Structure 1
Amino acid sequence: MSDADLDFLRQLAERQRSAHAGGNGGGRGARGHRGRRRKKNRRGRKLAPVIAIIFLVAVVGGGGYLGFTMLSGIVHPPDYDGPGTGSVTVQIQDGDSVRQMGQRLQQADVIKSSSAFYKIAKSDPKATSIQPGYYQLKLRMSAKGALALLLSPASRTGRVTFPEGKRAAQVLSILAARTHIPLKNFQRVAQNPKGLGLPSYAHGRLEGFLYPFTYDPAPDATATQVLRAMVTQFKKVAADIDLEGEAQRNHMSPHDVVVIASLVQAESGTSEDMPKISRVIDNRLHNSQLYLHKLQLDSTVMYALGKYGIVASGNDLKSTSPYNTYANPGLPPGAISNPGEDALKAALNPAKGPWTYFVTTDPKRHVTKFTDNFTEFERFRQELQQNLAHG
């Protein structure tokens, strides 16, 4: 018995003695009544410990029941049975812990308790690999089933990843297919991108500023919101690499940096080649031989014609577009693709070298060769033709 229980019994006995003492007094005529009271008090004193024990058993027993109930809830937390019904979209946010995920699922009535989810998830190492985004789940499903859906790529809704070098037209088509927002909505916003937060040096052009990244648009997102997120990501990366500051130090405009980066992205087979291609562009633009100022890049010609490929035909080269760098000196008027960080850095930091020509001689293996000799350049072109002829 605990000290608290002993204190309780002592206090109960003291109250019994006080009650007995208060009943004494009066004349002789009260003796008979007092005698009967003494018998009753003696019986009360004998029953007091019994009553106290019964009280303690009730208290301790009730507490034990509550304790057992609480312990049972920890060991066996409430959980739904079965695969669930209906459909509900739940957002897992960047930085969510497993416990926070469980709380979001419980709030959406996907699971009965976050504790059940945590118990299941903490024993599965893959739970920590759950990515932020929107997930299509079911209502009132088991915690185990909810975890399985969160780990399944098929449950992701709207997530779209863009590799480097996609053109704006390609980006819009992919977005329309993945978000179920009509393509015409994206095209309408792209034609009038004032609400997208483009940097001033974009000159109102969207090409080059749809940053290649993984996006998780909300199920009810609009075309404007989706494209704004891509522009915002570009500006974040631009700030991280100090694009504007570096451009100024290199005596370049931020716009030209993005244009050069888009050419580098379109022409390179590997990230290792990017600084070299950037150097070729820089060497030609600043060469004393004026004919070298024409970059002669097939990618710009193909862009102007809305075609895809690495080699422009003779008819393609007749294009009168300002993007035809065979016909026009200097940079094209705008970007021709949406470059990633490596290409942006290469545009700001060209490799050191004398090269004025490059040819991707083996497209399948991403082999690009560089030279400052026109004869060697012609030999590289013949090598490319041979590789293309052999498939």
Structure 2
Amino acid sequence: MTVPSALIWDPAVARYQFRPDHPFNPRRLELSVSLMESLGLINDTTARVVAPRMATEAELLAVHSREYVDAVRRFSAGGGTDDAPRYGLGTDDTPVFPGMHEVTSLVAGATLRAAELVMSGEVKRAFSICGGLHHAHRGRGSGFCVYSDLAAAIAWVRREHGGRVLYLDYDAHHGDGVQGIFYDDPEVMTLSLHESGRYLFPGTGFVDELGEGEGYGYSLNVPLEPFTEDDSWLAIHAKLLPEVMEAFRPDVILVQNGCDGHALDPLTHLRASTRLYEETIRLVCELADTHCNGRVIATGGGGYAVWEVVPRAWTLIWGGLSGQPVPDRIPHDWLNRWQGEAPVLLPERVRDDPAAHKPVPRREEIEATNRRTLESLRRQALPLIRGWDLGW
């Protein structure tokens, strides 16, 4: 059944481009939205497009320091950049570019707009496809991220509605920026499932990162082994998410849907298929319907197999959010539109063929390690959360 949903989108957000050869390529946004349109998943009523707005200075300052915002504005306008590395900018990962303050404020405003629509009850679920910038910290950028749209939206929900927020992040990279900004806040639960920081940027996100002060026990991390694949990843979701929802009782779920854990992604090693993204968003929506009146604020995130993976994964996520079945055959008009520009042969189906996804060696060992990691987290963190009952 179709669920009242909003896709937050405007081509202007594609100006968030560091340089033509940078892996954080905004073309993936246009590819994804055009595939949704081609499959008939966008309409003018229940599954509609809503334009973003600019984040205000006050909304940025709720989660970023004045010094940092002023520095970003100065670099954006062409001011001197000698001190940019002090703010995590001007690096190969996160270069300075003209107009960066304005477009990153628009990206932050897209996720804020999604939060407004969901919390007002105008829609149950909203997808800020350009958002998900989870590495930005209070006083510095990092890992392709300048402003934290995620933290800005969480802070807005807390300030305007007093809502408890469950932040779920299953990007292949640890959601370190969001975790850090709310590390001492017991009204914001951050839960990140990611490739272990032993092998992947940003090198954080271990089980013992539990929060501090009043927020101790409200930061949860599941560092996954490389080559985890779908089954182990989904088993952890299915075990942990219902427990967290029951204990924490959030008023809304904010989910970061980075799709860089896919087997074709060039930057990571988790080897998921499109099944992970379709089944995870289904579980999130089911739990939201049970525990928080269906409220889900969703964003994009990482994803560097720009042509082969991102459009399909995010189309499946949009289908799950909006309650629409996603056809498996990709329309010829979409393939004809993009194949001439694509550097790879575009897939003809939305979902990966399970038969083409051969299991890696050591699968049992990897799954056993992931189970031990999950149980270590449950033993350390979950008794600290109000209302948690391990059932032991």
TM-score of the alignment, normalized to the shorter chain, above 0.5: no
Q: TM-score, normalised by structure 2?
A: 0.22
Greater RCO structure (CA 8 Å; 6+ sep): 2
Q: Which has the larger radius of gyration?
A: 1
